[in-house]
Structure formats: structure tokens, C-alpha cells
Amino acid sequence: MIIRSTLAAGLAVGLSASALAQGNVTVYGRIDMGLEMVQRSGGDAPSDSSGRMFTDTSYWGLRGSEDMGGGMKAYFKLESGFNPNDGRGGAIFNRESYLGLSGRLGSLQAGHQFAPAVTLTGRLDPFQRSMNGLIQNLMQTNAGNAQRGTFSQRQNAVQYISPTMQGFTVRALYAFSEQFAEPRALNRSRALGLEYANGPLYSAFSYESSEIATVPAGGTRRNDTYLGGLTYDFEVVKLHGLYMRNNLEHAPGAHGFMVGASAPFAGGTVRASYTWRTLRGEDGQDASVAALGYTYPLSKRTMVYTSLAYLDNGRQARYALWPSSKAASLSAPGQDVRSLQVGMRHMF
């Protein structure tokens, strides 16, 4: 019995190694570590401050593909986030896990995956969805804004990505609710993204619609978000702009904008942005983030960075700055937040 088990284990290892050798499987990832000083003041809460190690976004993953001939290819991606400062992570492959087919007509992939707006805002944001001035602070759903913005990931989702034609690329996603009990529409989502890239110009538009839970629970209400933006690269400076509008059923509309710039300087890149948002007709619900940062590449895969951000919360708003928002409690209503970061990032 022991010999039989050993042979079976050896055969499994051999088959796995053979599959890796025959296929196109890559291990990849990003390790991001830094030091951050955070200070909170104002509102009705006492002022506080802290210094901490942080990880902006660190992950590792597996991706691979198989050429099936005739222009067809099967591919997969499995990606998991983790915290290198303590070695912990969330659920395995909590960022993306999908299987897809691609050909001359585009790609179709199914599983847990990022929404189209993630790709679009990654190019529209001067901070490229990283560091404390990133666009997610005010424009993406989080604990501080009660789901009034774009979403990041969707599970049980099917997404189509068109080939790029005349500079245009289309992304369409549908996420199934998979609810057997009422409300059966809960978490059902639809998203559409449109990109156009032509030389120095990049422009993008996205639309998202989802069914979220009512408070108290028992029903659903529709949540729609529209986002549009563009960048233009003048070589000496790139300008960035974005507008977001959110319509939540039976609630005041939310809207906001971002303006920013990025420019080469001393071998690296200076990045700056100003982001603002509010709820229409709701006094004290506005918030803004002003940020200035600098990134410097030490090599093709390693960079260092620093960034300073200031979050101004209206007297009823309680947003937070990334990535301290992952570890700290939400700011109190009207409490402002300042953050200084120094970090290093390595891609593998």
C-alpha cells in the first residue's frame, strides 16, 4: 500500500511537471513595501497620528496559455494578494481567477475578475491606481462612501474583450447573482467599458449597473455609475482628467471629478492630482484629496517612490486614504487625513 501510494504521488508530480513543461505557465507578482506617517485631525474626534509599515498592493499569480491553432488560444489567470510585512494574505486567488478563450474576434473569459473600470482608471489616474493619492480614495466603492462609485471586482462573471480596431477597444461584463432565495437579483451586475488610444490621446468611458441590498435587508435597489475621462501626452507633461456620476435608487446622486498631471523629472516621474466628490443636495458630504508624488525606477523591475496626500472631509463625510484605510478604522465625520509615504516596489 505504501509503495502504491508513493508511485501514485510520483506519477502526479511527474504529470504536473510535464504539464508545466509543455504549456506556457508563468509565475509573476509584485512586492510593495514602505513606511507611512498618518495624521488625523478635525471633526468631533480627537486628533491622532501613527507611523507604520505598509504594503500598497502586493500579489503573486500564475498565468498561462495554450495555442490551439487557427488563431485560437486558451488561457488562464490565478492571482492572490498578500501582505509582505506580516506574511499574511486573504482568500487564495482573491484578486482574479478566470479561464478564457481568445481569437480573431476577441477574448471571452469567465470567473472572478476585475471590472472594466479598473483597467480604464489605471490609465486615467496620474498615480496609476497606486500610492496614497490614487483615484480609488473617492471614486471607487469602499466602506466610507456607501457603494457610491465604480466597483473593482466581480465574481461569477463573464467578460468579453474585443480586439483593438482603429484605436477602439470594448469590454463588456455580466456577473450572475446566483441567488436561489429572494431577493434573487442581489449582486447581479453589468458593466461596459470603451477605450480609444491614438498617439498622445487616450480617452475612456465606462458604465456599471448593479443590484445592491436595501437597508434594512430584504430587497434590492439599482446602483448605476458613469465614468469618463481622457489623458493627453505633450511629452513634457501629460494631463489627466476624469468625471464620475453615480445614481443610487431612492438616494441623492453623487458626482465628482479628478484633474491631474504627470511629467518626467530627473530620471523619474512627478505625479499630482486633485480629486473631489459630493452628494447632491446633501450639506457636508463633500470631500477632496490633493496629492503630490514622485516615482524613480532603479531598474526595469524595481522602483522607489514617495507621496504626500491631504484628504479634506466635509463635516458629514468620512473617507480615508489608501492604503492606511486597510488597517485603520474609518475617519470620524469631518476628520481630515494627512499621509506621507516612502516606499519601494519590485516586479517579478
pLDDT score recorded for residue 168: 98
Length of the chain: 348
pLDDT score recorded for residue 15: 37
- Give a yes or no: residue 87 inside a domain: no
- Give a yes or no: residue 291 inside a domain: yes
pLDDT score recorded for residue 202: 98
- Give a yes or no: residue 137 inside a domain: yes
- Give a yes or no: residue 75 inside a domain: no
> 334 is in which domain, residue-wise?
33-41+50-56+105-347
Q: In the structure grid, which three cell numbers stand for residue 14, read together?
A: 511527474
In this structure, the dihedral spanned by the alpha carbons of residues 42, 328, 255 and 196, taken in order and rounded to 10 degrees, is 140
How many whole angstroms separate alpha carbon 99 and alpha carbon 112? Answer: 9
CB 242 within 8 A of CB 151: no
Burial label for 233, CB within 10 Å (0-12, 13-18, 19+), is middle
Helix or strand holding residue 191 (H, E): strand 189-198
64 - beta bridge partners? 25, 76
Helix or strand holding residue 120 (H, E): helix 116-124
CATH number at residue 285: 2.40.160.10
The 10 Å Cβ neighbour count of residue 183 is: 17
- Give a yes or no: residue 126 inside a domain: yes
- Give a yes or no: residue 235 inside a domain: yes
pLDDT score recorded for residue 217: 85
Q: How many domains would you assign to the chain?
A: 1
- Give a yes or no: residue 268 inside a domain: yes
User: Whose grid coordinates read 479628478?
Assistant: 258
- Give a yes or no: residue 131 inside a domain: yes
How confident is the chain (348 residues) per 10-residue block, as mean pLDDT? 39 43 82 96 88 93 96 97 88 95 98 97 97 95 81 95 98 94 92 98 98 88 97 98 96 96 98 96 93 98 98 93 78 92 98
> pTM of the prediction?
0.89
The 10 Å Cβ neighbour count of residue 6 is: 10
User: Whose grid coordinates read 489623458?
Assistant: 231
Helix or strand holding residue 3 (H, E): helix 2-22
How many whole angstroms separate alpha carbon 321 and alpha carbon 315? Answer: 17
How many whole angstroms separate alpha carbon 331 and alpha carbon 319? Answer: 6
Q: Which amino acid belongs to residue 326? A: K
Question: Which backbone phi and psi does 311 adopt, to 5 degrees?
Answer: -105, 120
Q: Which amino acid belongs to residue 62? A: L
Q: In the structure grid, which three cell numbers stand for residue 296, read together?
A: 524613480
pLDDT score recorded for residue 43: 86
Q: How far is CA 47 from CA 37, 67, 193, 328, 331, in A?
A: 14, 58, 41, 14, 10
pLDDT score recorded for residue 6: 39
